Amino acid sequence: MRRVTTFAQIIRTCEEENWKLADYFLYQEMDWRQREGEDSSPEAILEKMEINLQVMESAAKEGIGGVQSYSGLTGYDATRLNAYRSEKAPLGKSIYLDAIVNAIAINEVNASMGLICATPTAGSCGVVPGILLAAREHLKLTRRQQLDFLITSGGCGLMIGNLASISGAEGGCQAEIGSASGMAAAALAEAAGGTPQASTNALAIALKGLLGLVCDPVASLVEVPCIKRNATGVVNAIASAEMALAGMQSRIPTDEVISAMHSVGQLMPSALRETALGGLALTPTARRYTRELKQTGKITWKERKGPLPSI
Amino acid sequence: MAKFHSIFDIIGPVMIGPSSSHTAGAVRIGLASRAIFGETPENVQITFFGSFAHTYKGHGTDLALIGGLLGLSTANPDIRYAYDLAKETGMKVKIVTSQEKMKHPNTAEVRMTKGSRTVSVTGISTGGGSIDLVEIDGFNVHVHNDNPVILIFHMDRPGVIASVTRVIGQHRLNISQMEVSRKTKGKLALMLIATDGEIPDATLEEIAAVKHIVQIIDLSEIRREPNGTKALMAKGAAQ
C-alpha cells in the first residue's frame, strides 16, 4: 500500500476504492505490521483493539461508581453527573450528556491510579471512549462498528501526532484534548454514516475549536483542569461531527489546520506547555494546593462528597 | 520522519493513571531496577529529584516505582496497594527527596540492599512511559527501553569485549549501541549492548561462558508494553 502523508491523499484513496476511513487505517496498520514482521491479520488487530475497548468500558463503570484521586483534589464528579442525568437533567437527556458522564468517569479513574487506555494520552483518555460508549447506544453500533470507531480515531491521531503533536509538553492542551476531540469527531461522523470527506471536515472543525488551548496543570497534577476538559473535548467533538454531517465544510483544509496546530504549539511559551508555570497553575488557589501537596501529600477539597445541589 | 507508526501508539497503551511519565515511566524504572538486582530487595531507598521530588505524592510515583520493584507491570491495578504489598513481601521502603539539580527533571535513584549486597540504579522518565537508565551501580550508562539491552559485568581484561561481540556476531545479531565503562583499571567493568533483535537465551549462555564474565543481566523485557508484560510478571513472581 502506498504510504501517504496528507488527508487529501487519504480521501482520494478512499473515494477511489470506496473505503471508509476505518478501512483505510486498518489496511495501513496491516501493512505496517507486515513490514515489522508481526501478525498482520485483521483479526489480530481487531482482537488487540477489543482489549482496549474492554479497558475503556470497565474504566467508565468504575468511574461512575465513584473514585477519588490519589491527591484528594478530584473525584466523585462522575457519580454526581450520573445521578443528575437519571434524576434531573433539566436540559434534556442527550448524547452530549451521556458522553460527558463517561468522559469524566474515565478521566477520574485515570487520576485515581486506575486502569485506562491512553487515547492519545492519559490526560485526555476520556474523550474518545466517552463519545464511543454514548454513541453506541444512540446509533446502535455493532461491536465491529465500535472497533472501527477506535481504528478511525487512532488513524486520525497518527496523522495529527506525525504532522503536529499529541504531547502537552510539546504543543499544549490543544495537542492532547484538542487531538482527542478531533479524533473522536472524525470517528463519530463516520459512525453516523458520514463520508471520509465529512469525517475529516469534522476533524478540522474540532481541532480549530480548541486551537491554542494551553496546558496549565494545577499542582502539576493530571486533574485540574484536565478532567473537566475531557468534557470540553467531548462537546466540541459532537458539535463538530453534527456540523460536518450537515454538510458544513471547514474553509481551511484539514491538512492545513493540522499544520496550523503544529505552528501554534511551537509559538506557545513553555510556561503554558505542561510546566505548571503559567495559566491556572499560577493562580493563588493553585499555589496553595501545590504547597499543601508538598507538605502533606494530600490536597483538601472539602465539598467533594457533598450532596447534589437542589434545582 | 514519522514519530508514530501504529494506531496502537495512539489508542493505547493500557496503563495505570494518571501520567505516562510520572506513573508508567516510574513503574518501568522499578522493573528495570528489579531485573538488575535479580531478586526482591530487603531494603530500598528511593531518592526523587526535580519534578519527581515535587509531585511524586500526587502522581503516585512512589507507588509506581515500588510496584515495579515488586514486579508489577504498568497495567497492574494493584500498584495502588504497593506499600501494603511491599510490607507483605518484607521489602522495607524509604523515600527521600533531593533538591540537587539533575540533568533531567524526572529522575529517581533506587538503592537496593539484601544482606551485604547493595546495588544502585538511577533512571529518568523521558515521557510517554519511556525510560533511560543513566547509572547502574556507580557506572554511568545510557540505557533506553526502546531496544533490547543486555548488561554484562566483567573483569577489565584485554580481549573480553572482542570475545563477547564475536559470539553476538556469530549468531547474526546486529549491535545497535554499545558502551563500556569501568571505575578502576583492571577491576570490575560494565559492558552495555543494545541489539536490533532480542538475544536468545542460548546465546546469553554462550556469552556467560566467556572468560572474565561475572554476570549478565537481560533488560529486554522492560521495553515491552503492558500487554506483553505478563511474562515478566510471571518471571518476577517465580524469583
Reduce the secondary structure of A164-207 to three states and give it as a string: CCCCHHHHCHHHHHHHHHHHHHHHHHHHCCCCHHHHHHHHHHHH
Query: B123 and B176 in one domain?
Result: no
Where on the phi/psi map is residue B90: left (φ > 0), alpha (ψ -120 to 50), or beta? left
Cis peptide before A120 (omega within 30 of 0): yes
Which pLDDT band, with edges at 50, 70 and 90, does B210 fall under? very high
Strand ranges (E), B115-187: 117-127, 130-136, 139-144, 149-155, 175-182
In chain B, positions 121-160, which contact chain A (CB-CB < 8 Å)? Answer: 127-128
User: Are residues B95 and B14 both part of a single domain?
Assistant: yes
Closest to B7 (Cβ–Cβ): which among A71, A117, A151? A151
Is residue B186 assigned to a domain?
yes
Among B93, B119, B145, give the residue marking a domain's end. Answer: B145
Backbone angles phi, psi at B131, to 5 degrees: -130, 160
Predicted pLDDT of residue B230: 35
User: What pLDDT is recorded for position B236?
Assistant: 33
**Does B224 fall in a domain?**
no
Q: Kindly report the three-state secondary structure assignment for every residue of B191-237.
A: EEEEECCCCCHHHHHHHHCCCCEEEEEECHHHHCCHHHCHHHHHHHH
* Cα A196 off chain centre by: 20
Say whether pLDDT at B228 is over 50: no
Give all strands of the β-sheet with B130-136 in edge-to-edge order.
Answer: B92-97, B43-49, B106-114, B117-127, B130-136, B139-144
Confirm whether B79 is domain-assigned.
yes
DSSP single-letter state for residue A121: S
Angstrom distance (rounded) from CA B89 to CA B73: 17
Please check whether residues B113 and B176 belong to one and the same domain: no
CB half-sphere exposure, A235, CA atoms < 13 A: 10
CA distance A99 to A124: 14
Residue B106 to chain A, least CA–CA distance (Å): 12
d(CA B189, CA B187): 6
User: Would the CB atoms of B57 and A219 count as touching at under 8 Å?
Assistant: no
Same-domain pairing of B25 and B57: yes
Of B4, B58, B227, which is closest to A293 when you measure between CB atoms? Answer: B58
Peptide bond into A307 cis (omega under 30): no
Give the end of a domain, one of B84, B113, B145. B145
What percent of chain B is predicted at pLDDT more than 90? 59
Name the residue with higher pLDDT: B51 or A136.
Answer: A136
The answer to whether B10 contacts A167, with C-beta atoms less than 8 Å apart, is: no
SS3 (DSSP) at A251: coil
Count of domains forming chain B: 2
Q: Is residue B8 domain-shared with residue B68, that is, in the same domain?
A: yes
Give me the residue label for grid cell 507538605.
A295
Residue B161 pLDDT class (50, 70, 90 cuts): very high
pLDDT at B176 over 90: no
Residue A83 φ/ψ region, left for φ over 0, alpha for ψ in the -120 to 50 degree band, beta for the rest: alpha
> What pLDDT, on a 0 to 100 scale, did the predictor assign at position B198?
83
Cβ distance A115 to B77 less than 8 Å, yes or no, reads yes
| Cell 543513566 sits on residue | B134
The reported pLDDT for the residue numbered A120 is 94
Residues B223-227 have a mean pLDDT of: 49
In this structure, is residue B48 part of a structural domain? yes
Kindly state whether residues B97 and B13 are assigned to the same domain: yes
Q: Indicate which of B4, B11, B196 best probes the interface with A, i.e. most A CBs within 10 Å of its own CB.
A: B11
More confident residue, A42 or B223: A42
**Residue B32 and residue B79 in one domain:** yes
Domain-ending residue, one of B145, B163, B182: B145
Structural domain of residue B37, as residue ranges? 1-145
CATH code where residue B14 lies: 3.30.1330.90
pLDDT at B220: 74
ipTM of model over 0.90? yes
Do B131 and B209 fall within a single domain? no
Q: What percent of chain B has pLDDT over 70?
A: 91
Q: Residue B11 and residue A113: Cβ atoms within 8 Å?
A: no
Q: Where are the alpha helices (DSSP H) in chain A?
A: 7-17, 21-36, 42-65, 77-87, 95-111, 127-138, 143-163, 168-171, 173, 179-191, 196-209, 226-245, 254-267, 284-296
Regarding predicted confidence, which is higher, B58 or B228? B58
- CB atoms A117 and B128 under 8 Å: no
> In this structure, what CATH number is given to the domain that contains residue B198?
3.30.70.260
How many Å lie between the alpha carbon of B22 and the closest alpha carbon of chain A? 10
Q: Are A85 and A93 in contact (CB under 8 A)?
A: yes
- Residues of A within 8 A of B63 (CB-CB) are 70, 113
- Asked if residue B89 is part of any domain, the answer here is yes
What is the average pLDDT across B126-136?
86
- Strand (E) or helix (H) holding B169: helix B160-170
Q: What's the pLDDT at B223?
A: 61
**Predicted pLDDT of residue B199:** 87
pLDDT value of residue B2: 67
* Mutant choice from A28, A71, A115, A176 vs B, greatest count of B C-beta within 10 A: A115
Which positions ≥6 away from A215 have C-beta within 8 Å? Answer: A168, A169, A172, A173, A175, A176, A272, A273, A274
Do B11 and B127 reside in the same domain of the chain? yes
B139 shares a domain with B38: yes
My answer on whether B134 and B159 are in the same domain is no
Q: What is the mean pLDDT of residues B49-76?
A: 91
Please answer whether residues A161 and B8 qualify as being in contact, where contact means their C-beta atoms are separated by less than 8 angstroms.
Answer: no
* Pair B13, B108 in one domain: yes
- Residue B21: its pLDDT value, please? 85
Q: Which of B5, B10, B16 should we substitute to test contact with A (largest number of A Cβ atoms within 10 Å)?
A: B10
Q: Is residue B182 included in any domain, yes or no?
A: yes
Whether residues B16 and A33 touch (CB distance < 8 A) is answered with no
Q: Which residue has the cell 467533538?
A: A237
In chain A, which residues have pLDDT < 50?
304, 310-311
Residue B238 lies in a domain: no
Shortest CA distance from A219: residue in chain B: B55
Q: Mean pLDDT of all residues in chain B?
A: 87
Instruction: State mean pLDDT over B154-181.
Output: 92
